[in-house]
Amino acid sequence: MFVRTENFRSFIRFYPIISIIIGIHILLFIGVNLFPALLRLTAGINIYISAGEYWRLVTPIFIHEAFPHFLFNSFSLYLFGPALERLLGKFKFIIGYLGAGVVANIATLMLQGPYYSHIGASGSIFGLFGLYVYIIYARRELIDQQNKQIVLTILILSLVMTFVTPRINILGHLFGLVGGAALGPILLTGKRFRRS
């Protein structure tokens, strides 16, 4: 489920949405480092969102300024996204990924101060874990014991890192997780795992 054996072309063919998102990550990572004005225009800055710049609820999901942040989120999507894209289908995967990220960003807007700013796909990545948590506890037939243990172990480690790493949007991570789990019953209705 989480072991990637595809070559570059096969990965793009099997998982086009994840490939596109990672491509956007790459382009925008280069863009914000070459053109700092792009970061100022796309970051989730609460006071600007409150003033009507609602695109900032979505754009931070794709923006990374530091290379380790970009690499960690893109690699997490590469590892944990394919099984969900295959299970949900393209459209529902987009809804789940963006939906969890937007839930995380709305929570950040409502619960952080007006000058709080944030970027990164972490809310959406935690949303994927939220979907897996829903699968583990409500749709057990969709995941085996080994992969369940992998997901729960990585999730626990990620939550620990959330609380010990400086400059992390803790609320974004937590509400991304909640958002993904909440979307699970809607997105997974009637779904069955298609084994290759």
Catalytic residue among 25, 69, 118, 173: 173
User: 124 catalytic, yes or no?
Assistant: no
CA distances from 81 to 12, 16, 21, 126, 196 (A): 13, 11, 11, 11, 16
SS3 category, 149: helix
Residues pairing with 117 in the sheet: 45
Judge whether 118 counts as a catalytic residue. Answer: no
Give the CA angle between residues 170, 74, 22 to the nearest 5°: 125
Number of C-beta neighbours around residue 16 at 10 A: 13
Catalytic residue among 74, 76, 122, 124: 122
Active-site residues: which are they? 122, 173
